[in-house]
Structure 1
Amino acid sequence: MYFFLLNLSLLDLGTISTTVPKSMANSLWDTRAISDSGCAAQVFHFTFLLSTEYSVLTVMAYDRYVAICKPLHYGTIMGSRACVKMAAAAWASGFLNALLHTANTFSIPLCQGNILEQFFCEIPQILKLSCSNSYLREIGALVLTLCSGFGCFVCIVVSYVQIFTAVLRIPSEQGQHKAFSMCLPHLAVVSLFVSTIIFAYLKPPSISSPALDLVVAVLYTVVPPAVNPLIYSMRNRELRDALKKL
Structure 2
Amino acid sequence: MEQHDHAKCPAIEVTIETKQIVPASVAGELLEEIARGFERHARGKGRRDLRLGVRRVDIGSLIMELAVIGAAPGAPSAEVVTRSFLVATGELLRSAQGLAPGTVRKSDARLIDALRDPVADGLADRVILGRRGGAAEAVVDREAVRLIDASRSRPTARSEVRVSRSLPAPDDVLPPPPARRELRGANGTVLDVKGRWYVRLEGEGGVLNPLEPGPGVAVVDEAVYEFDGSWEGRSYRIRTARRIA
Q: Scaled by the length of structure 1, what TM-score is found?
A: 0.25
Q: Scaled by the length of structure 2, what TM-score is found?
A: 0.25
Answer 1 or 2: which has greater strand percent. 2
Q: Which has the higher contact order (CA 8 A, sep 6+)?
A: 1
